[in-house]
Amino acid sequence: MASRLQSHQLPSGLYVSGKLEQPKETRPPTMAARAMPYTGGDIKKSGELGRMFDISFADPTSFHGGGAARPPPTRVHSSSASSSNPNNGHGRSGSQSGPVRKSSGPLSQFQPTGLITSGPLNSSGQIGSGSRRSGPLDHHQTSNLRPSTKPKYGSAVTVLNSDPVRVGLKVPKALVWAVVVVAVTALLIGTFLAVAVKKPLIIVAIAAAIVPAAVVFVWNCVWRRRGLLGFIKNYPNAVLRGAIDGQFIKVTGVVTCGSTPLESSYQKIPRCVYVSTELYEYKGCSWGSRHAERYVSDFYISDFQSGLRALVKAGYGSKVSPFVVPETVANVTVQTKDLSPSFLQWLADRSLSNDSRAMRLKEGYIKEGSTVSVMGMVRRHDNVLMIIPPAESVATGCKWWRCLFPAYVEGLIITCDENQNADVIPV
Protein backbone atom coordinates (compact mmCIF):
# COMPACT_ATOMS: atom_id res chain seq x y z
CA MET A 1 0.00 0.00 0.00
CA ALA A 2 1.49 3.15 -1.07
CA SER A 3 2.18 5.73 1.58
CA ARG A 4 0.33 8.94 1.35
CA LEU A 5 2.37 12.11 0.86
CA GLN A 6 1.84 14.83 3.43
CA SER A 7 0.81 18.24 2.21
CA HIS A 8 -0.35 21.54 3.71
CA GLN A 9 -2.13 24.63 2.56
CA LEU A 10 -0.45 28.02 2.39
CA PRO A 11 -2.22 31.21 3.50
CA SER A 12 -2.72 32.01 -0.18
CA GLY A 13 -4.81 28.84 -0.62
CA LEU A 14 -2.17 26.88 -2.52
CA TYR A 15 -1.47 23.27 -1.46
CA VAL A 16 2.17 22.27 -1.32
CA SER A 17 3.81 18.99 -0.37
CA GLY A 18 5.81 18.59 2.82
CA LYS A 19 5.31 19.27 6.50
CA LEU A 20 4.41 22.64 7.81
CA GLU A 21 7.48 24.33 9.34
CA GLN A 22 7.13 26.09 12.65
CA PRO A 23 7.92 29.86 12.51
CA LYS A 24 11.22 30.76 14.16
CA GLU A 25 11.32 33.19 17.05
CA THR A 26 12.95 36.52 16.05
CA ARG A 27 15.45 37.92 18.54
CA PRO A 28 17.08 41.35 18.66
CA PRO A 29 20.80 41.66 17.89
CA THR A 30 23.10 40.58 20.65
CA MET A 31 25.17 43.80 20.40
CA ALA A 32 24.70 45.79 23.54
CA ALA A 33 23.93 49.48 23.05
CA ARG A 34 24.15 51.34 26.27
CA ALA A 35 23.70 55.07 26.51
CA MET A 36 26.73 57.15 27.49
CA PRO A 37 26.34 58.05 31.17
CA TYR A 38 26.52 61.68 32.23
CA THR A 39 29.66 62.09 34.34
CA GLY A 40 29.09 65.65 35.50
CA GLY A 41 32.84 66.25 35.35
CA ASP A 42 33.66 63.32 37.63
CA ILE A 43 36.04 60.84 36.04
CA LYS A 44 34.94 58.11 38.49
CA LYS A 45 31.53 58.05 36.78
CA SER A 46 33.00 57.71 33.30
CA GLY A 47 33.13 53.92 33.48
CA GLU A 48 35.21 52.46 30.69
CA LEU A 49 36.58 55.84 29.57
CA GLY A 50 39.21 56.06 32.28
CA ARG A 51 40.22 52.41 31.94
CA MET A 52 40.38 52.54 28.17
CA PHE A 53 42.87 55.44 28.12
CA ASP A 54 44.83 54.31 31.18
CA ILE A 55 44.26 57.59 33.06
CA SER A 56 45.06 57.88 36.75
CA PHE A 57 42.64 59.93 38.79
CA ALA A 58 42.11 60.97 42.36
CA ASP A 59 39.13 61.84 44.47
CA PRO A 60 38.06 65.36 43.45
CA THR A 61 37.02 66.10 46.98
CA SER A 62 40.63 65.77 48.10
CA PHE A 63 41.33 69.20 46.61
CA HIS A 64 39.12 70.83 49.19
CA GLY A 65 40.38 71.14 52.75
CA GLY A 66 38.68 69.81 55.88
CA GLY A 67 37.43 66.40 56.91
CA ALA A 68 39.24 63.15 57.35
CA ALA A 69 42.20 62.14 55.33
CA ARG A 70 41.36 60.82 51.89
CA PRO A 71 42.69 57.55 50.55
CA PRO A 72 45.53 57.80 48.06
CA PRO A 73 44.64 57.99 44.37
CA THR A 74 44.23 54.67 42.63
CA ARG A 75 45.38 53.81 39.14
CA VAL A 76 43.41 51.32 37.08
CA HIS A 77 45.56 49.40 34.63
CA SER A 78 44.06 47.68 31.64
CA SER A 79 45.50 44.45 30.42
CA SER A 80 47.25 44.32 27.12
CA ALA A 81 45.31 43.47 24.02
CA SER A 82 45.46 39.93 22.74
CA SER A 83 45.16 41.10 19.17
CA SER A 84 46.69 44.01 17.27
CA ASN A 85 43.40 44.64 15.47
CA PRO A 86 41.66 47.61 17.11
CA ASN A 87 38.26 46.50 15.77
CA ASN A 88 38.09 43.10 17.44
CA GLY A 89 35.21 42.19 19.73
CA HIS A 90 37.17 42.24 22.98
CA GLY A 91 37.24 46.01 23.21
CA ARG A 92 33.47 46.34 22.52
CA SER A 93 32.00 43.58 24.62
CA GLY A 94 29.89 44.58 27.57
CA SER A 95 31.56 42.14 29.99
CA GLN A 96 35.09 42.42 31.33
CA SER A 97 36.02 38.83 30.51
CA GLY A 98 38.05 39.73 27.46
CA PRO A 99 41.15 41.90 27.37
CA VAL A 100 40.83 45.61 26.64
CA ARG A 101 43.10 47.32 24.14
CA LYS A 102 45.60 49.65 25.84
CA SER A 103 46.21 53.12 24.51
CA SER A 104 49.46 53.92 22.71
CA GLY A 105 50.53 56.41 25.38
CA PRO A 106 49.31 58.54 28.26
CA LEU A 107 47.07 61.41 27.26
CA SER A 108 46.75 64.76 28.94
CA GLN A 109 45.35 64.47 32.46
CA PHE A 110 41.79 65.29 33.38
CA GLN A 111 41.07 68.36 35.39
CA PRO A 112 38.46 68.27 38.19
CA THR A 113 36.02 69.84 35.73
CA GLY A 114 36.32 66.85 33.39
CA LEU A 115 37.97 68.81 30.55
CA ILE A 116 41.02 67.49 28.72
CA THR A 117 43.58 70.25 28.15
CA SER A 118 46.90 70.30 26.34
CA GLY A 119 48.53 72.84 28.63
CA PRO A 120 49.51 72.64 32.27
CA LEU A 121 47.05 73.39 35.19
CA ASN A 122 47.18 76.42 37.38
CA SER A 123 45.60 74.64 40.33
CA SER A 124 47.61 74.08 43.47
CA GLY A 125 46.91 70.36 43.59
CA GLN A 126 48.55 67.78 41.34
CA ILE A 127 46.43 65.35 39.42
CA GLY A 128 48.25 62.18 38.60
CA SER A 129 51.95 61.67 38.30
CA GLY A 130 52.34 63.38 34.92
CA SER A 131 50.05 66.36 35.35
CA ARG A 132 51.00 69.68 33.83
CA ARG A 133 49.97 73.25 34.46
CA SER A 134 48.21 75.50 32.02
CA GLY A 135 49.42 79.00 31.32
CA PRO A 136 52.55 80.54 29.84
CA LEU A 137 55.86 78.73 29.92
CA ASP A 138 58.57 79.82 32.28
CA HIS A 139 61.51 82.02 31.23
CA HIS A 140 63.90 79.10 30.81
CA GLN A 141 61.55 77.21 28.47
CA THR A 142 60.73 80.37 26.55
CA SER A 143 64.40 81.19 26.02
CA ASN A 144 65.01 77.70 24.69
CA LEU A 145 62.19 78.06 22.18
CA ARG A 146 63.36 81.45 20.88
CA PRO A 147 65.46 81.42 17.76
CA SER A 148 69.08 82.28 18.38
CA THR A 149 70.28 85.65 17.15
CA LYS A 150 73.91 84.60 16.91
CA PRO A 151 74.90 84.32 13.23
CA LYS A 152 76.28 81.05 11.92
CA TYR A 153 78.20 81.23 8.66
CA GLY A 154 80.37 78.78 6.81
CA SER A 155 83.87 79.01 5.44
CA ALA A 156 82.74 81.37 2.68
CA VAL A 157 82.53 84.20 5.22
CA THR A 158 85.64 85.78 6.72
CA VAL A 159 85.57 86.27 10.48
CA LEU A 160 87.60 89.37 11.26
CA ASN A 161 89.47 90.08 14.48
CA SER A 162 88.28 92.47 17.16
CA ASP A 163 90.45 95.17 15.55
CA PRO A 164 91.00 94.16 11.91
CA VAL A 165 92.46 97.53 10.87
CA ARG A 166 96.07 97.54 11.96
CA VAL A 167 97.74 100.78 10.97
CA GLY A 168 101.47 100.69 11.56
CA LEU A 169 104.30 103.16 11.07
CA LYS A 170 106.64 102.45 8.20
CA VAL A 171 109.80 103.20 10.20
CA PRO A 172 112.73 100.77 10.45
CA LYS A 173 113.02 99.18 13.87
CA ALA A 174 116.79 99.74 13.86
CA LEU A 175 116.25 103.48 13.54
CA VAL A 176 113.73 103.48 16.38
CA TRP A 177 116.04 101.59 18.72
CA ALA A 178 118.98 103.84 17.81
CA VAL A 179 116.98 106.95 18.68
CA VAL A 180 115.85 105.43 21.99
CA VAL A 181 119.40 104.43 22.97
CA VAL A 182 120.82 107.85 22.08
CA ALA A 183 118.05 109.64 24.01
CA VAL A 184 118.53 107.53 27.15
CA THR A 185 122.34 107.89 27.00
CA ALA A 186 122.14 111.66 26.57
CA LEU A 187 119.72 111.92 29.47
CA LEU A 188 122.01 109.91 31.79
CA ILE A 189 125.13 111.86 30.81
CA GLY A 190 123.32 115.16 31.20
CA THR A 191 122.08 114.19 34.66
CA PHE A 192 125.61 113.17 35.75
CA LEU A 193 127.16 116.40 34.47
CA ALA A 194 124.42 118.50 36.04
CA VAL A 195 125.12 116.92 39.43
CA ALA A 196 128.93 117.02 39.11
CA VAL A 197 129.37 120.45 37.58
CA LYS A 198 126.25 121.84 39.25
CA LYS A 199 124.94 123.43 36.10
CA PRO A 200 121.20 122.64 35.51
CA LEU A 201 121.34 124.23 32.06
CA ILE A 202 122.77 120.97 30.74
CA ILE A 203 119.58 119.10 31.75
CA VAL A 204 117.46 121.79 30.13
CA ALA A 205 119.39 121.53 26.86
CA ILE A 206 119.09 117.75 26.72
CA ALA A 207 115.37 117.88 27.56
CA ALA A 208 114.85 120.46 24.80
CA ALA A 209 116.30 117.96 22.34
CA ILE A 210 114.39 114.90 23.59
CA VAL A 211 110.93 116.41 24.14
CA PRO A 212 110.28 117.37 20.47
CA ALA A 213 111.12 113.82 19.37
CA ALA A 214 108.68 112.40 21.93
CA VAL A 215 105.99 114.84 20.80
CA VAL A 216 106.40 113.82 17.15
CA PHE A 217 106.15 110.15 18.09
CA VAL A 218 102.94 110.68 20.08
CA TRP A 219 101.53 112.82 17.25
CA ASN A 220 102.03 110.00 14.76
CA CYS A 221 100.42 107.43 17.07
CA VAL A 222 97.31 109.60 17.41
CA TRP A 223 96.94 110.86 13.81
CA ARG A 224 98.20 107.92 11.78
CA ARG A 225 94.66 106.54 11.24
CA ARG A 226 93.37 109.88 10.02
CA GLY A 227 96.41 110.23 7.79
CA LEU A 228 95.66 106.85 6.24
CA LEU A 229 92.00 107.80 5.64
CA GLY A 230 93.14 110.97 3.93
CA PHE A 231 95.50 108.96 1.72
CA ILE A 232 92.65 106.58 0.73
CA LYS A 233 90.26 109.44 0.00
CA ASN A 234 92.74 111.31 -2.20
CA TYR A 235 93.88 108.22 -4.09
CA PRO A 236 92.65 108.48 -7.71
CA ASN A 237 89.94 106.12 -8.96
CA ALA A 238 90.83 103.76 -11.76
CA VAL A 239 88.71 102.46 -14.64
CA LEU A 240 88.06 98.73 -14.62
CA ARG A 241 87.94 98.54 -18.39
CA GLY A 242 91.60 99.46 -18.77
CA ALA A 243 92.93 97.73 -15.64
CA ILE A 244 95.61 95.12 -16.26
CA ASP A 245 96.33 91.94 -14.34
CA GLY A 246 98.34 92.58 -11.16
CA GLN A 247 97.64 96.32 -11.01
CA PHE A 248 96.84 97.97 -7.67
CA ILE A 249 93.74 100.12 -8.14
CA LYS A 250 90.97 101.90 -6.33
CA VAL A 251 87.40 101.40 -7.54
CA THR A 252 84.32 103.30 -6.38
CA GLY A 253 80.85 102.02 -7.16
CA VAL A 254 77.68 100.29 -5.99
CA VAL A 255 77.94 96.92 -4.26
CA THR A 256 75.72 93.88 -4.66
CA CYS A 257 75.72 90.71 -2.57
CA GLY A 258 77.47 87.55 -3.66
CA SER A 259 76.45 83.97 -2.98
CA THR A 260 76.42 84.48 0.81
CA PRO A 261 74.59 87.63 1.94
CA LEU A 262 75.03 88.69 5.55
CA GLU A 263 72.63 89.99 8.19
CA SER A 264 73.38 92.25 11.14
CA SER A 265 72.96 90.40 14.43
CA TYR A 266 71.03 93.06 16.39
CA GLN A 267 69.03 95.18 13.95
CA LYS A 268 68.54 92.28 11.52
CA ILE A 269 69.51 94.34 8.45
CA PRO A 270 69.31 91.87 5.53
CA ARG A 271 71.51 91.51 2.45
CA CYS A 272 74.75 93.05 3.70
CA VAL A 273 78.29 92.48 2.47
CA TYR A 274 79.90 93.54 5.76
CA VAL A 275 78.48 93.57 9.31
CA SER A 276 80.01 94.44 12.66
CA THR A 277 78.58 94.49 16.18
CA GLU A 278 80.59 95.78 19.13
CA LEU A 279 79.67 95.87 22.81
CA TYR A 280 81.51 98.44 24.93
CA GLU A 281 81.57 98.55 28.71
CA TYR A 282 82.45 101.50 30.89
CA LYS A 283 85.37 100.55 33.14
CA GLY A 284 86.52 103.15 35.58
CA CYS A 285 87.22 106.23 33.50
CA SER A 286 87.12 104.90 29.92
CA TRP A 287 85.17 102.65 27.57
CA GLY A 288 86.58 99.22 26.79
CA SER A 289 85.56 96.62 24.26
CA ARG A 290 83.78 93.64 25.81
CA HIS A 291 82.61 91.72 22.74
CA ALA A 292 83.00 92.20 18.99
CA GLU A 293 81.74 90.42 15.86
CA ARG A 294 82.83 91.28 12.33
CA TYR A 295 82.01 89.36 9.16
CA VAL A 296 82.64 90.01 5.47
CA SER A 297 81.96 87.92 2.38
CA ASP A 298 82.54 88.04 -1.37
CA PHE A 299 80.58 90.74 -3.18
CA TYR A 300 80.35 92.54 -6.50
CA ILE A 301 81.13 96.17 -7.22
CA SER A 302 79.97 98.07 -10.31
CA ASP A 303 82.36 100.75 -11.47
CA PHE A 304 80.80 104.20 -11.84
CA GLN A 305 83.08 105.18 -14.71
CA SER A 306 82.96 102.13 -16.98
CA GLY A 307 79.88 100.28 -15.72
CA LEU A 308 81.79 96.99 -15.46
CA ARG A 309 81.27 94.71 -12.52
CA ALA A 310 84.08 93.01 -10.61
CA LEU A 311 84.06 90.29 -7.97
CA VAL A 312 85.72 91.40 -4.74
CA LYS A 313 87.31 88.37 -3.03
CA ALA A 314 86.77 89.32 0.61
CA GLY A 315 85.59 85.92 1.88
CA TYR A 316 87.28 82.59 2.57
CA GLY A 317 89.69 84.02 5.13
CA SER A 318 91.02 86.94 3.09
CA LYS A 319 92.79 89.83 4.77
CA VAL A 320 90.40 92.79 4.85
CA SER A 321 90.71 96.22 6.45
CA PRO A 322 87.22 97.79 6.61
CA PHE A 323 86.80 101.47 7.45
CA VAL A 324 83.14 101.68 8.43
CA VAL A 325 81.98 103.97 11.23
CA PRO A 326 79.41 102.15 13.42
CA GLU A 327 76.42 103.80 15.04
CA THR A 328 75.09 103.33 18.58
CA VAL A 329 71.97 101.15 18.60
CA ALA A 330 71.64 100.53 22.35
CA ASN A 331 72.79 102.64 25.27
CA VAL A 332 72.47 101.19 28.78
CA THR A 333 73.21 103.34 31.80
CA VAL A 334 73.48 102.42 35.46
CA GLN A 335 70.00 103.85 36.10
CA THR A 336 68.41 101.74 33.37
CA LYS A 337 66.00 99.29 34.99
CA ASP A 338 64.11 97.68 32.14
CA LEU A 339 66.21 96.45 29.22
CA SER A 340 64.71 95.65 25.85
CA PRO A 341 63.97 91.96 25.18
CA SER A 342 66.03 92.04 21.98
CA PHE A 343 69.08 93.31 23.87
CA LEU A 344 68.67 90.67 26.60
CA GLN A 345 68.31 87.96 23.97
CA TRP A 346 71.43 89.20 22.20
CA LEU A 347 73.40 89.00 25.46
CA ALA A 348 72.03 85.55 26.33
CA ASP A 349 72.97 84.07 22.95
CA ARG A 350 76.58 85.10 23.57
CA SER A 351 76.66 84.07 27.24
CA LEU A 352 77.25 87.66 28.36
CA SER A 353 76.12 88.70 31.81
CA ASN A 354 73.67 91.52 32.32
CA ASP A 355 75.22 93.38 35.23
CA SER A 356 74.59 96.92 36.43
CA ARG A 357 77.37 98.50 34.36
CA ALA A 358 77.02 101.07 31.64
CA MET A 359 77.12 99.48 28.19
CA ARG A 360 76.90 100.61 24.58
CA LEU A 361 76.11 98.46 21.59
CA LYS A 362 77.37 99.74 18.25
CA GLU A 363 76.58 98.22 14.89
CA GLY A 364 77.99 98.93 11.46
CA TYR A 365 77.21 97.41 8.10
CA ILE A 366 77.46 97.83 4.35
CA LYS A 367 74.19 96.81 2.79
CA GLU A 368 73.43 96.07 -0.81
CA GLY A 369 73.14 99.22 -2.91
CA SER A 370 75.63 101.27 -0.88
CA THR A 371 78.44 103.22 -2.50
CA VAL A 372 81.86 102.01 -1.37
CA SER A 373 85.49 102.28 -2.39
CA VAL A 374 87.70 99.21 -2.69
CA MET A 375 91.48 99.17 -2.99
CA GLY A 376 93.12 95.93 -4.12
CA MET A 377 94.89 94.09 -6.88
CA VAL A 378 93.30 93.22 -10.22
CA ARG A 379 93.13 89.56 -11.20
CA ARG A 380 91.65 88.26 -14.47
CA HIS A 381 90.78 84.56 -14.67
CA ASP A 382 88.64 82.96 -17.40
CA ASN A 383 87.06 86.28 -18.39
CA VAL A 384 86.18 86.95 -14.75
CA LEU A 385 87.39 90.28 -13.39
CA MET A 386 88.31 90.08 -9.70
CA ILE A 387 89.82 92.33 -7.05
CA ILE A 388 91.92 90.39 -4.55
CA PRO A 389 93.98 91.40 -1.50
CA PRO A 390 97.42 92.71 -2.45
CA ALA A 391 100.45 90.60 -1.64
CA GLU A 392 102.20 93.48 0.14
CA SER A 393 100.95 96.07 2.60
CA VAL A 394 99.76 99.44 1.34
CA ALA A 395 101.99 102.35 2.45
CA THR A 396 100.87 105.97 2.57
CA GLY A 397 104.23 107.63 2.24
CA CYS A 398 105.78 110.29 4.43
CA LYS A 399 103.94 113.59 4.92
CA TRP A 400 106.47 116.02 6.29
CA TRP A 401 104.16 119.03 6.27
CA ARG A 402 101.98 117.17 8.76
CA CYS A 403 104.84 115.57 10.66
CA LEU A 404 103.47 112.11 9.79
CA PHE A 405 105.66 109.10 9.16
CA PRO A 406 104.70 106.56 6.48
CA ALA A 407 101.76 104.38 7.63
CA TYR A 408 100.76 101.04 6.19
CA VAL A 409 97.75 98.70 6.22
CA GLU A 410 97.38 95.09 5.07
CA GLY A 411 94.74 93.39 2.91
CA LEU A 412 91.79 94.73 0.98
CA ILE A 413 90.79 98.24 1.94
CA ILE A 414 87.03 98.85 2.04
CA THR A 415 85.62 102.26 2.90
CA CYS A 416 82.02 103.45 3.08
CA ASP A 417 81.37 107.12 3.77
CA GLU A 418 77.58 106.91 3.42
CA ASN A 419 75.31 107.39 6.38
CA GLN A 420 73.79 104.02 7.26
CA ASN A 421 70.34 105.56 7.63
CA ALA A 422 70.49 107.15 4.17
CA ASP A 423 68.69 105.67 1.21
CA VAL A 424 70.77 103.37 -0.96
CA ILE A 425 70.61 102.80 -4.67
CA PRO A 426 68.15 99.99 -5.46
CA VAL A 427 69.78 97.10 -7.29
Domain edges within the chain: 173-222, 238-416
Q: What pLDDT was estimated at residue 212?
A: 83
pLDDT in tens, 50-84: 666 665 555 544 444 444 444 444 444 444 334 44
What pairs with residue 251 in β-bridges?
374
What pairs with residue 384 in β-bridges?
381
pLDDT in tens, 377-406: 999 988 899 999 999 888 887 777 778 878
- How many whole angstroms separate alpha carbon 154 and alpha carbon 177? 44
Per-residue CA distances from 181 to 175, 184, 188, 233 (Å):
10, 5, 11, 37
Confidence of residue 424 (pLDDT cuts 50, 70, 90): low
Q: What pLDDT was estimated at residue 4?
A: 60
Q: Regarding beta strands 272-283 and 412-415, do their DSSP bridges make them parallel or antiparallel, or are they unpaired?
A: unpaired
Cα–Cα nearest to 373, from 245, 185, 233, 175: 233
Q: What pLDDT was estimated at residue 69?
A: 45
- What is the rounded average pLDDT for all residues in the chain? 74
pLDDT in tens, 74-131: 444 444 334 444 444 443 434 444 444 444 444 444 455 554 444 444 433 443 334 3
pLDDT in tens, 146-177: 555 577 788 899 999 866 666 666 666 777 78
Q: What pLDDT was estimated at residue 298?
A: 96
Q: 73-110: b or e for each residue (b if 16 or more CB lie within 10 Å)?
A: eeeeebeebeeeeeeeeebeeeeeeeebbeeeeeebbb
- How many whole angstroms separate alpha carbon 50 and alpha carbon 106? 11
Per-residue CA distances from 239 to 11, 187, 242, 253, 389 (Å):
117, 55, 6, 11, 18
Rounded to the nearest angstrom, the gap between the alpha carbon of residue 18 and the centroid of all alpha carbons in its chain is: 93
Q: What pLDDT was estimated at residue 48?
A: 64
Q: What pLDDT was estimated at residue 164?
A: 65
Q: What pLDDT was estimated at residue 154?
A: 87
Q: What pLDDT was estimated at residue 63?
A: 40
